[in-house]
Amino acid sequence: MEAQYDELTAQLGSPEVIADNARFQKAARAHAELSETVEEFRRYRQMEQDAAEARQMQNDADTDVRQFATDELARLQPELAATEARLRQLLLPKDPNDEKNVVLEIRAGTGGDEATLFVAEMFRMYSRFAEQQRWRLEVLSSSESGVHGLKEVVAIIEGRGAYSQLKYESGVHRVQRVPATEQQGRVHTSAVTVAVLPEAEEVDIHLDPKDVRVDTFCSSGPGGQSVNTTYSAVRLTHLPTGLIVSCQDEKSQIKNRAKAERVLRSRLLEIETEKQHQAIAAERKQQVGSGDRSEKIRTYNFPQNRVTDHRAGLSLHQLGDVMDGRLQPFIEALTAHFQAERLQKETAA
What are 118-139's pLDDT values in tens digits? 999 999 999 999 999 999 999 8
Choice among 19-23, 129-133, 167-171, 259-263 with the minimum mean pLDDT: 259-263
Average pLDDT, the chain: 85
Q: Which residue has the higher pLDDT, 348 or 189?
A: 189
pLDDT of residue 283: 36
Choice among 38-42, 91-95, 100-104, 166-170 with the minimum mean pLDDT: 91-95
Residue 344 CB coordination number (10 Å)? 10
For 74-111, the pLDDT digits (tens) are: 999 999 998 988 888 788 777 778 888 999 999 999 88
pLDDT of residue 277: 58
pLDDT of residue 79: 93
C-alpha span between 105 and 171 (Å, rounded)? 11
Share of the chain above pLDDT 90, in %: 49
Q: Say yes or no: 268 and 321 in one domain.
A: no
* Cβ atoms of 280 and 273 closer than 8 Å: no
**Is 97 inside a domain boundary?**
no
Please give the helix or strand (H or E) that residue 105 lies within, else none.
strand 102-108
> Left, alpha or beta for 247 (phi > 0: left; psi -120 to 50: alpha)?
beta
pLDDT at residue 158 above 50? yes
For 220-243, the pLDDT digits (tens) are: 654 444 444 567 788 899 988 888
Between vectors from CA 176 to CA 182 and to CA 113, what angle results, nearest 5°?
Answer: 55
pLDDT of residue 308: 96
**Helices 2-12 and 21-57, packing angle to 10 deg:** 130
Task: Specify the CATH number for the domain of residue 156.
Answer: 3.30.70.1660
Most confident of 112-121, 181-190, 200-209: 112-121
**Is 241 inside a domain boundary?**
yes
C-alpha span between 144 and 151 (Å, rounded)? 6
pLDDT of residue 14: 93
* Cβ atoms of 50 and 17 closer than 8 Å: no
* Cβ atoms of 265 and 143 closer than 8 Å: no
**Helices 63-90 and 21-57, packing angle to 10 deg:** 150
**Pairing assessment for the beta strands 233-238 and 306-309 based on DSSP bridges:** unpaired
* Cβ atoms of 58 and 51 closer than 8 Å: no
Which of 257, 278, 299 is the last residue before a domain boundary?
Answer: 278
Q: Say yes or no: 11 and 32 in one domain.
A: yes
C-alpha span between 74 and 131 (Å, rounded)? 46
Structural domain range at position 192:
102-200+290-348
pLDDT of residue 226: 42
pLDDT of residue 222: 46
Share of the chain above pLDDT 70, in %: 87
Q: Say yes or no: 14 and 117 in one domain.
A: no
**Is 19 inside a domain boundary?**
yes
**Is 323 inside a domain boundary?**
yes
Q: Say yes or no: 194 and 221 in one domain.
A: no
Q: Which residue has the higher pLDDT, 124 or 147?
A: 124
For 277-325, the pLDDT digits (tens) are: 565 444 333 333 333 344 689 999 999 999 999 999 999 999 999 999 9
Q: Say yes or no: 63 and 179 in one domain.
A: no
Choice among 54-58, 158-162, 278-282 with the minimum mean pLDDT: 278-282
Residues in the chain: 349
**Is 235 inside a domain boundary?**
yes
C-alpha span between 323 and 303 (Å, rounded)? 14
Q: Say yes or no: 77 and 213 in one domain.
A: no
**Is 284 inside a domain boundary?**
no
Which of 26, 60, 90 is the last residue before a domain boundary?
Answer: 90
CB-based burial label for 169 (10 Å; 0-12, 13-18, 19+): buried
pLDDT of residue 49: 95
Q: Say yes or no: 130 and 190 in one domain.
A: yes
* Cβ atoms of 207 and 265 closer than 8 Å: yes
- Residue-by-residue DSSP string for 268-317: HHHHHHHHHHHHH-SSGGGSTT---TTSEEEEEETTTTEEEETTTTEEES
pTM for the full predicted model: 0.65
In sign, the C-alpha dihedral spanning 72, 77, 82, 85 is positive
Q: How many domains does the chain have?
A: 3
Q: Say yes or no: 57 and 195 in one domain.
A: no
| Local confidence band at 215 (pLDDT 50, 70, 90 cut-offs) | confident
pLDDT of residue 185: 77
**Is 283 inside a domain boundary?**
no
Q: Say yes or no: 177 and 221 in one domain.
A: no
pLDDT of residue 6: 95
pLDDT at residue 349 above 80? no
